[in-house]
Amino acid sequence: MDFKASSEKTATKHSMLVCCKLYISESRNFLALDSIEQAANLNRETVIINKFKDSAYNRVRYTLVSYVVHGNGNGETYSPLQEAVLAMVEAAYGSINLELHSGAHPRLGVVDHICFHPLAQASLDEAARVAKMVAADIGNKFEVPVFLYEAAHPNGKALDTIRRELGYFQPNFMDNQWAGWALPEILVEKPDEGPTNVARARGIVVIGASPWVTTFNVPLVTSDVSAARRIARMSSARGGGLPGVQTLALVHGEESMEIACMLLDPNLVGADRVQSQVERLAAEEGMDVEKGYFTDFSPEMIFEIYMKLVSSG
């Protein structure tokens, strides 16, 4: 084999990458997580770059990366991510029952949220194509309602808009927790894929594609839920705070809250500005703030880790 030709082919193949973030409503059931990860490992062309789990939230996020090919002879888009994600989804539905789930983070389903982001030279359109293929598979194969957002949605509907319409942000247990399925079993809004009726053990899933979103959490030393919610609201774009920032105040253990932040344009407003804003508002409430933390790697670091793993076989 021509080594130079092989190297060039490999470089071209891995210049078009898509990152998938898969959020599953479970972090305490280690057998369930093990089965989900084993399902992912069956696909040798998809790499799990990161795993972030939180016991208080009872939630885990897997960050996966693989290549994407568009127009490979028949005009169709192909990515190994599709097969890997579906295998993980099947394992999750086979080992987790939403009716038995509880945690301090909102969720709509066992597989709660799947988002796709372009990396390297891939385009947002290619990430959206993969998102829509995965959505169709989940809706048809598992008969789970799927709602699409942003680049994967025909009209670019925003993720937070869909979540508000579905009651995502309303705790249903102890005023600040989420437990079981407490929404209607027949959806008022028609999903983009799958049935309008909801299986209580699985719930629904929201799937989309977007430019990179940075997730950043700021811990507060307090049990005052009302004050934490005021800080979250005044830190967000929706509350007149920082542009491109979405926030949520969540209980995170005893005497502890977190301002969970999504930075939709991290180049415009970064984590330092969010930290400063939260610290200023918290000082007005007379509470202490700890140093915030990122919940995932940067896209540059994810790309670097992926390429190292691929080159090492």
Residues 265 and 147 in one domain: no
Among 211, 238, 271, the domain-final residue is 211
CATH number at residue 229: 3.30.70.670
Residues 103 and 44 in one domain: yes
pLDDT above 90 (res 3): no
Query: In this structure, is residue 305 part of a structural domain?
Result: no
Residues 95 and 168 in one domain: yes
Residues 74 and 200 in one domain: yes
Residues 94 and 105 in one domain: yes
d(CA 147, CA 204): 8
Between 313 and 152, the higher pLDDT residue: 152
Query: In this structure, is residue 3 part of a structural domain?
Result: no
d(CA 164, CA 155): 17
Would you call 117 a catalytic residue per the annotation?
A: no
Residues 197 and 239 in one domain: no
Query: In this structure, is residue 4 part of a structural domain?
Result: no
pLDDT above 60 (res 4): no
Query: In this structure, is residue 1 part of a structural domain?
Result: no
Residues 114 and 207 in one domain: yes
The string of pLDDT tens digits covering residues 108-159 is 999 999 999 999 999 999 999 999 999 999 999 999 999 999 999 999 999 9
Q: Report pLDDT for 2.
A: 42
pLDDT above 60 (res 13): yes
Residue 249: closest CA among 237, 240, 236: 236
- Beta pairing partners, 63: 21, 50
Query: In this structure, is residue 273 part of a structural domain?
Result: yes
Alpha-carbon radius of gyration of the chain: 20
Domain residues for the domain of 263 are 214-294
Mean pLDDT of 166-181: 94
Residues 110 and 102 sit within 8 Å (Cβ to Cβ): no
Residues 200 and 233 in one domain: no
Residues 159 and 228 in one domain: no
d(CA 160, CA 29): 28
Residues 199 and 250 in one domain: no
The string of pLDDT tens digits covering residues 234-262 is 999 999 999 999 999 999 988 899 999 99
Residues 239 and 299 sit within 8 Å (Cβ to Cβ): no
Among 181, 211, 241, the domain-final residue is 211
Residues 92 and 111 in one domain: yes
Query: In this structure, is residue 5 part of a structural domain?
Result: no
Please count the structural domains in the chain.
2
The string of pLDDT tens digits covering residues 78-99 is 999 999 999 999 999 999 999 9
Of the chain, the percentage scoring pLDDT greater than 70 comes to 94
Query: In this structure, is residue 102 part of a structural domain?
Result: yes
Candidates 14, 105, 113, 252; catalytic one: 105
Residues 18 and 162 in one domain: yes
Q: Report pLDDT for 7.
A: 40
- Beta pairing partners, 245: 263
CATH number at residue 100: 3.30.990.10
Mean pLDDT of 23-43: 96
The CA-CA-CA angle for residues 209, 210, 216, to 5°, reads 115
